[in-house]
A and B are shown apart, each in its own frame.
Chain A
Amino acid sequence: MKVSELAALPEFTAVTLPDADREITGVYIGDLLSWVMGRAQADDAWITIMSNVNVVAVASLADTACVLLAEDVALEDAVKETAAARGINVLSSPLSAYGIACRLHSLL
């Protein structure tokens, strides 16, 4: 499914969607950056509770489709701007990482 379709669901809020047409083909959950870097696949939706600016670099270099912030984790404005500038899609949700994963399981 496309990132824009996910953003349209009531459980998700778009934080920034500079590349909304991007296709999601899998899911990865993790907060340790080099773990994510090594194990996430390109085009995964990456579920995390980390919100510092390094998340943007990892999402960009690991080439994930979007970052899904669980538990209503918020991004500082500066991080949001960096994500927008680098073409990184970010969405947030009140659901837990598990809740988001279950939701995606039924959608993908």
Chain B
Amino acid sequence: MADALIFHYEVDGENFTSAGQASVQVKKNLRQLGFDPETIRRVSIAMYEGEINMVIHAGGGVADVTVEDGCIRIVLTDHGPGIADIDKAMEEGFSTARDNIRSLGFGAGMGLPNMKRYTDEMQIDSAVGVGTTITMKVNY
């Protein structure tokens, strides 16, 4: 692949009843590019969890997905409240989601662990009061 392909999405922070659109679009694009189903599934899961987190915890953000030689890179950036204790946030079952969000089926505290599990690399950069950037890499 000569040039890296970049997809850019604005993720709306208001609408958590129809969130996930950027991830659905990424899935479509990767399919059109002829990626194998397992790679598409891994990227889709990791991206969806990150997208939903930006919607429910950070008031929205931006997602950049880059198709590079040998890997797909997902960068999610928000200017939400930040994550005070990243180790804690990474624990299965830890969640600060409110009841109205939980009633939709979110808040199991499994999103960040899923992102870790389905990617080959994941880095969280976060500062309280400033925002969060999560970078993930899926090798193919």
Chain A positions within 8 Å of B, measured between CB atoms, are 31-35, 37-38, 42, 50, 52-55, 57-58, 60-63, 82, 86
How far in angstroms is the closest Cβ of chain B from A76? 11
A63 touches B37 (CB 8 A): yes
B13-58 residues at the A interface, CB under 8 angstroms? 17-20, 23-24, 27, 37-38, 40-41, 44-45, 47-49, 52
Specify the chain B residue showing the minimal Cβ separation from A32. B108
25 contacts between A and B (CB under 8 A): A32-B105, A32-B110, A33-B106, A33-B108, A34-B52, A34-B109, A34-B110, A34-B111, A34-B114, A35-B110, A38-B45, A53-B17, A53-B18, A54-B17, A55-B105, A57-B24, A57-B48, A58-B20, A61-B20, A61-B44, A61-B47, A61-B48, A62-B44, A63-B37, A86-B24
Q: How many A-B residue pairs have CB under 8 A?
A: 77
How far in angstroms is the closest Cβ of chain B from A57? 3
Q: Report if B2 contacts A (CB, 8 A).
A: no
B114 touches A37 (CB 8 A): yes
B17 touches A52 (CB 8 A): yes
A107 to B103, CA, bound (A): 32
B48 touches A37 (CB 8 A): yes
Specify the chain B residue showing the minimal Cβ separation from A56. B20
A38 touches B114 (CB 8 A): yes
CB-defined contacts of B8 to chain A, threshold 8 Å: none
Majority-rule SS of A interface residues: helix
CB-defined contacts of A61 to chain B, threshold 8 Å: 20, 23-24, 27, 41, 44-45, 47-48
A57 to B49, CA, bound (A): 11
Across the interface, A37 reaches (CB within 8 A) one of B37, B45, B109, namely B45
CB-defined contacts of A35 to chain B, threshold 8 Å: 108, 110
In the complex with contacts A37-B48, A62-B45, A52-B105 CB distance below 8 A: yes
CB-defined contacts of B38 to chain A, threshold 8 Å: 42
A38 to B20, CA, bound (A): 16
In the complex with contacts A53-B18, A54-B20, A33-B105 CB distance below 8 A: yes
